[in-house]
Amino acid sequence: MSRYFVLLLLISVSFSCTDIAFDGQDYNQDVITHAQSKAVFRECQDFPNDTQVSIALIEKGVIRFYGVKRENDTIVSVDNHKSVFEIGSISKVFTGTLLADLVIEGKVELGDPINDYLGVTLKDHHEITFQQLANHTSGLPRIPSNYRLLEIDFSNPYKDYDEIKLLEYLTDHLTLDNPGGFKYSNLGVGLLGYTLTKIADESYEDLLQSRIFSKYGMTGSTSNRNRVGNMLVAGLNPKGVVTPNWDINILEAAGGILSSVSDLSKFAMAQFVESDEVLALTRESTYGGYHMGGAIAGIGLGWMIRDVEGQDWYWHNGGTGGYSSFMQLDVQNRDAVIILSNVSAFNSKRVNIDSMGARLMHSLRKNDMQVPENQ
């Protein structure tokens, strides 16, 4: 695979009631309908050996977990609901949640420019707002232009892109293309997270732990891989060979979180609590009117919003060199699907994870629990 082709892949990869008890969540493990299991096995059959897929299904606020692993060309059920995976761009939802938390606290407003918090002057005196970074309307490119191809370790492509290079980009190379229009940007959300750390004078990891993970009992979630130990499932490259984990460095807010479906189900359940002002703010549409997958979509603070028969579904997916993920919520009906896997974002069948998520989500919507054939 040529270095230029890998760069193109990197550019295209996307880096989710008062009676809820987060510390002792009630669930029935491995309870899944025949139609749902058929959908899972159908989408997993082309993945390499040692692939793991971990799934949380939430139906009307009831959580069920299901996991599979491909061994010796056979798909078997496994208990991996607490196993940890890189979640890729689902991290952007958590960065948006940190922003919402600071907004509710009165530290910033969505329309404020980030310029005053960076300690440097942006090239050509451009102004960029917090909201623009959170909903991909800043005009920033997907990755910075000083992300140098010839210096990249493609097995861990972001590890050397540090604060010095980010500030160099902002002061010397910054360009904005059609500000106000939608342009998905890993750089933008990475910059958002960096700016929030400057405001709070805390690391991104500390912000996550203090403002989100501890609040919702997400004890196995982190942006520090050293904290997860042997709970981490090894990532696989497209050929099924173990591949290095990604160190996303200064852009970690765009895709650097590790978590489990057990933890992410707690975060999903929290979305159903109407009194949670922070999470409600993340789901408010801040931009809309572009087409994606045939549906009119919008964007909140991190969440993508899909119109499904007049109801808003909130979703995000993610991918890194060794992992792919999917998360989608129907808040009105208290339904959700969360999928974590060690399927590489560069695997030609990576789209099967999204397809699996869509089929499972629609299965929850149908009273007879039958999965539609052409989703």
Q: Which CATH number belongs to the domain containing residue 102 in this structure?
A: 3.40.710.10
Which CA distances in Å does 254 have to 70, 71, 269, 365?
29, 32, 23, 30
Burial of 180 (0-12, 13-18, 19+ CB in 10 A): exposed
Q: Within its chain, how far is the Cα of 108 from the centroid?
A: 24
Residue 286 belongs to a domain: yes
Q: What is the pLDDT of residue 290?
A: 61
pLDDT, one tens digit per residue, over 312-341 is: 999 999 999 999 999 999 999 999 999 999
Q: What is the pLDDT of residue 150?
A: 67
For 96-106, what is the mean pLDDT?
98
Residue 14 belongs to a domain: yes
Q: What is the pLDDT of residue 151?
A: 75
Residue 121 belongs to a domain: yes
- For 315, the token pair is 């979703």
Residue 230 belongs to a domain: yes
First to last CA, the chain: 32
For 138-160, what is the mean pLDDT?
89
Residue 375 belongs to a domain: no
pLDDT, one tens digit per residue, over 73-84 is: 899 999 999 999
Residue 251, pLDDT > 90, answer yes
Q: What is the rounded distance in angstroms from the CA atom of residue 48 to the CA atom of residue 216?
A: 34
Residue 373 belongs to a domain: no
Instruction: From 17, 26, 7, select the one nearest 158 (Cα to Cα).
Output: 7
What per-residue string of b and e applies to 227-242 under the rule 16 or more CB within 10 Å gives b?
bbeeebbebbbbebee
Other CB atoms within 10 Å distance of the CB of residue 304: 22
pLDDT, one tens digit per residue, over 207-231 is: 999 999 999 999 999 999 999 999 9
Q: How high is the mean pLDDT of the chain? A: 89
Residue 130 sits at the vertex; the CA angle it makes with 124 and 133, to the nearest 5 degrees, is 75
In this structure, of 1-5, 63-67, 148-152, 324-328, the range with the lowest mean pLDDT score is 1-5
Residue 370 belongs to a domain: no
Q: What is the rounded distance in angstroms from the CA atom of residue 28 to the CA atom of residue 57?
A: 10
Q: How confident is the model at residue 32 (pLDDT cuts 50, 70, 90)?
A: confident
Q: How confident is the model at residue 26 (pLDDT cuts 50, 70, 90)?
A: very low
For 239-249, what is the mean pLDDT?
97
Residue 199 belongs to a domain: yes
Residue 109, pLDDT > 50, answer yes
Number of separate domains in the chain: 1
Q: What is the pLDDT of residue 25?
A: 43
In the chain, what percentage of residues exceed pLDDT 70?
87
Domain range for 303: 3-365
Dihedral-angle region of residue 334 (phi above 0 means left; psi in -120 to 50 means alpha; beta otherwise): left
Q: What is the pLDDT of residue 296?
A: 63
pLDDT, one tens digit per residue, over 6-21 is: 454 454 444 432 222 3
